[in-house]
Amino acid sequence: MLKDEYKVYEDKMKKSIDSVAADFAAVRAGRANASVLDRITVDYYGSPTPIQQIAAISSPDPRTLLIAPWDSKALKNIEKAIQNSDLGINPQNDGRNLRLAFPQLTEERRKELVKQIRKYAEAGKVAVRNIRRDAMENFKKQEKKSEITEDELKLVEKDMQKLTDDSCKTLDEMLAKKEKELMAV
């Protein structure tokens, strides 16, 4: 019974970590990476559509992304969506494709990006701690209703703390790796 409930909270913590990993992937490190386009949606015939669903994305060299829409009418909308995003890159339109040239990051921009990823990591830790708090409230209610014993509650508390600590450690490791990647020239 308790193991099933552990699994629920463990899965929630894993989802928080995965969310932070997705946030990290969207932060560009001076190299062309198609995942920076994951969050950008294009108005395609009246519905917001991810770029990956309406165009082929390739990387002809380490600093360039090439976006080739399957429908040439979508080219202007894709260009507009990229310009309106927080990507900070102006696409070059050659009439059939869009090219995104990723400039070398300045020291100042690298530091801004490090601050941004630290915020993502901290938000992930807050989410993990909130999950632990919710779990503990749930288990304390069960103890009050005599569904679990006081000893079981102590054990659960210890296990939830370990799960929280492990999740936070994972987030710290991801942060350190991404910081290193960003600060590498």
pLDDT tens digits for the chain (185 residues)?
A: 567 778 888 999 999 999 998 888 777 666 677 777 877 888 888 888 888 888 898 888 878 889 898 888 888 888 888 888 877 778 888 888 888 887 777 888 888 888 989 999 999 999 999 999 999 999 899 889 888 888 888 988 999 999 999 999 999 999 999 888 888 75
**Domain 2-26+106-183: CATH superfamily, name plus number:** Ribosome-recycling factor (1.10.132.20)
In the chain, ranges of CATH 1.10.132.20 domains: 2-26+106-183
Closest C-alpha among 71, 97, 81, 87 to residue 34: 87
Closest C-alpha among 113, 87, 117, 115 to residue 102: 87
Q: Given this model, what pLDDT does residue 4 score?
A: 76
Closest C-alpha among 69, 68, 75, 65 to residue 30: 65
The tokens for 143 are: 């103890």
Q: Is the dihedral of CA 99, 52, 106, 104 positive or negative?
A: negative
What is the identity of the amino acid at 55? A
Residues 6 or more apart whose CB falls under 8 angstroms from that of 55 comprise 67, 68, 69, 70, 74, 78
Q: Given this model, what pLDDT does residue 167 score?
A: 93
Q: Which residue has the tokens 């932060």?
A: 27
Considering the segment(s) 34-101 as one domain, its CATH architecture is 2-Layer Sandwich (3.30)
Q: Which of the 8 DSSP states describes residue 90?
A: P
Q: Given this model, what pLDDT does residue 104 score?
A: 78
Q: Given this model, what pLDDT does residue 13 score?
A: 92
